[in-house]
Structure 1
């Protein structure tokens, strides 16, 4: 069978790919297992060098890869270029720091013993990745795991098969051995069998909490390590002393980046009463000023939603919110044009338990809530089953940090939008998942932290490092 990728802005077919057959899947799994036995013994310095080369390959083909993302899922072309550069950055980051992160930890113990914690790779790791950041999500997994000595198998979203194959080609061109990174063009109904395969040693997923529960259940039944980065409904808290011009400017960016299709996008704007009217007026005005159009046009701020059915789900959430008593201040209807275009939308007076209050709205729809004070803002920010990111806006940085520490989230930002950074651990709490990606924490998720105890005769020099 074949898989078609479609341009969501035009409906035209971008390319056609053959699905991975059962026979090919078996061959890929076997090759990955064989490659791991050699790859794990490859000096980390050589793995780092190959990762550095992958960064060069990314930059050399940046325009090609950016255009591919824009064609397959509708990302504005400028943001697509930024995504390629961020992938190169994460490769360079681990190319520089992997040896340090994987070095043995010498632990003080008995005086006549040498005790060490060694970090050793586990084997083939399955990555189940989404379409919204079709390069970055994959490289966020691949860079630390490949340099740690694991091998990767990618089950990418079905609407970005071209991106999946391009990423596989990037690692091959960089010099990684055959089987170190493989794309499996398979359906979601085949994922359970792959997780259950004895050769797979771990699984990571970025996606919805529903998908996360299914993957965690399967991985748990097989006693395999899993890392889940799931959905979010990030609060964006505006206190009375917020620097309003910067706050509004960033609020628009935080809600509309990637056409509003980001797990860590700000979705619930929680504004104290003293500045609510000012914020809402300026926010609606700036949202309305954004240019919706062809994502390949340099002047476009917002492209289409990635698929027609996803836009329909988003619109259904908006309609249900309005039926329950919410008010629409801007947008609220699919645009009358070809393609899956939904306009910037602002909802207010959102009732408790309406979709715009307790579900993730994955598109350019902002919910704005009025609260009386800081304490109520924190309470509302935490009144969600999600816990991925959060931000607070204030002129008092000590106050901001105090509020940030009270957010129930994996990341909290003061006077900045929520974002991922290779130097910092990334992940969520509650229904936003568990485990961490990036930084030292990320490279150590899929390794065996092995305790090694070497007993010496009494009085013998242990060689402990102080």
Structure 2
């Protein structure tokens, strides 16, 4: 099978990649097992040093990596640079903190000694998406490799160029052969890879459908999974909020990466007293965003990663309008480019409310009370994160326990930070990445008892 990576802005072919044979896949799996047996014995200090080197390489070659991201999936070049630099930060974070996270956990019992130690488990198979093609991989790889595991990457087919460069980062940093390997495979090889005895766990970032399929396969073979799936985040603005600041935050929360983010704000739930002001200022802000060639430094909105993604968003817009939503801005599509779009009068039952809209579409809802706002926020099968904008921090904190999502941000967009655990509830998946939690997902927390 032949894969083509196509620039969504001009439809030019970025690269062509041949699928690996069953024999080649088998050889890479065996190489992973061989590498694990020696890698796990490398002192933690040395593994951490290598990860720090990977971070330095990312910074050094940021332009090369950022360019490939933009060519393959259309992200504005300034955002691509920021993504690569964030990957360097996650390398630094785990290099600096792994010793503390992996240290023995002393627990007092009636034993002479009793503690929990943290041992690596082996090969972790990562199935990663195209929307943040470097960041999604590094936030898995940094803690997993430092812990003594080895990684196998199946990236999205439209970013195989990024996948090859990521493997190259670890090679340049001096990681032993086989510790991190890129697999050029179609999804029909997923089950055989998961089933292989070498693979001990699976981590997936992707759609709800992909997550359900991988979880089912992994359960059949008793393999642990971590799933980070879709989202339909609510952005709630109370009437006491600083509207100008809320609008500025909202613009980034919705339009970053052209709206192609699981944690993007998608449903804007606004108190009726500030609805008109917020919508007017938000609309002005969206109009001022510069669309164009994502390789140009001033571009803020580029194409979606593929034409079929823009087609899907257009269908969601049109159906919502047919059901009574008011088209306030945008709404047109040209190939993979979809205009930044704002819909007013959005209600439950419309695609703009019920579904994950993976693109530059903002849905505006008007409510009378704070309780109604949170009730609408909870009216979703997803549960990644919620933003609340208000000057009454104390009151906002009281509502944190009422939100079922995995994150609750006050006066800030929901975002991932290497120092904080990240993950969702409900159909948004399970497990946590980043912080100490992310490292603990793929280690054997082994109880040691001495009488």
CA shift, 1:319, in A, is 1.0
Aligned to 1:151: 150
CA shift, 1:297, in A, is 0.9
Task: State which of 353, 359, 364 in structure 1 corresponds to 2:360.
Answer: 364
- CA shift digits 1:342-388 (9 cap, x unpaired): 11100111232111111000000010100101111111111100000
- The answer to whether the Cα contact below 8 Å between 1:87 and 1:139 also exists between their aligned partners in 2 is yes
TM-score calculated relative to the size of structure 1: 0.96
- CA shift digits 1:103-138 (9 cap, x unpaired): 11010000x420010111110000000000000000
> Counterpart of 2:185 in 1: which secondary structure?
coil
- The answer to whether the Cα contact below 8 Å between 1:392 and 1:403 also exists between their aligned partners in 2 is no
CA shift, 1:299, in A, is 1.1
Counterpart CA distance in 1 for 2:345 and 2:380 is 17
Counterpart CA distance in 2 for 1:367 and 1:407 is 20
> Counterpart of 1:160 in 2: which secondary structure?
helix
The within-5 A match list for 1:208-227 is 208-227=207-226
Residue range with higher mean Cα deviation, 163-172 or 394-403: 394-403
1:192 aligns with 2:218: no
- CA shift digits 1:127-174 (9 cap, x unpaired): 000000000000000000000000000000000000000000100110
- The answer to whether the Cα contact below 8 Å between 2:347 and 2:365 also exists between their aligned partners in 1 is no
CA shift, 1:422, in A, is 0.3
Counterpart CA distance in 2 for 1:162 and 1:22 is 21
Aligned to 1:8: 8
Aligned to 1:260: 259
CA shift, 1:269, in A, is 0.2
Aligned to 1:288: 287
The within-5 A match list for 1:235-254 is 235-254=234-253
Counterpart CA distance in 1 for 2:81 and 2:408 is 26
- The answer to whether the Cα contact below 8 Å between 1:391 and 1:404 also exists between their aligned partners in 2 is no
Aligned to 2:140: 141
The within-5 A match list for 1:104-119 is 104-110=104-110, 112-119=111-118
Counterpart CA distance in 2 for 1:118 and 1:27 is 32
CA shift, 1:399, in A, is 1.6
Counterpart CA distance in 1 for 2:177 and 2:280 is 56
Aligned to 1:70: 70
CA shift, 1:2, in A, is 2.6
- CA shift digits 1:37-78 (9 cap, x unpaired): 111111111100000000011111100000000000000000
Aligned to 1:301: 300
> Counterpart of 1:152 in 2: which secondary structure?
strand
Aligned to 1:460: none
- CA shift digits 1:249-300 (9 cap, x unpaired): 1111110000110000000000011111111111111112111111011111
Counterpart CA distance in 1 for 2:59 and 2:346 is 44
1:408 aligns with 2:404: yes
Runs of at least 5 residues in structure 1 that lack an aligned partner in the other structure: 456-466
1:437 aligns with 2:436: no
CA shift, 1:31, in A, is 0.1
Counterpart CA distance in 2 for 1:78 and 1:247 is 23
TM-score calculated relative to the size of structure 2: 0.99
The within-5 A match list for 1:340-379 is 340-379=336-375
Aligned to 1:207: 206
- The answer to whether the Cα contact below 8 Å between 1:404 and 1:414 also exists between their aligned partners in 2 is no
> Counterpart of 2:213 in 1: which secondary structure?
helix
Counterpart CA distance in 2 for 1:187 and 1:149 is 28
Counterpart CA distance in 2 for 1:373 and 1:404 is 17
Aligned to 1:458: none
Q: Would you say how many aligned residue pairs link Structure 1 and Structure 2?
A: 451
The within-5 A match list for 1:96-111 is 96-110=96-110
1:310 aligns with 2:309: yes
Counterpart CA distance in 1 for 2:391 and 2:86 is 30
- CA shift digits 1:154-203 (9 cap, x unpaired): 00000000000000010011000111000101001111111111110000
The within-5 A match list for 1:25-64 is 25-64=25-64
Residue range with higher mean Cα deviation, 317-326 or 397-406: 397-406
Counterpart CA distance in 2 for 1:142 and 1:4 is 25
> Counterpart of 2:342 in 1: which secondary structure?
strand
Aligned to 2:395: 399
Runs of at least 5 residues in structure 2 that lack an aligned partner in the other structure: none
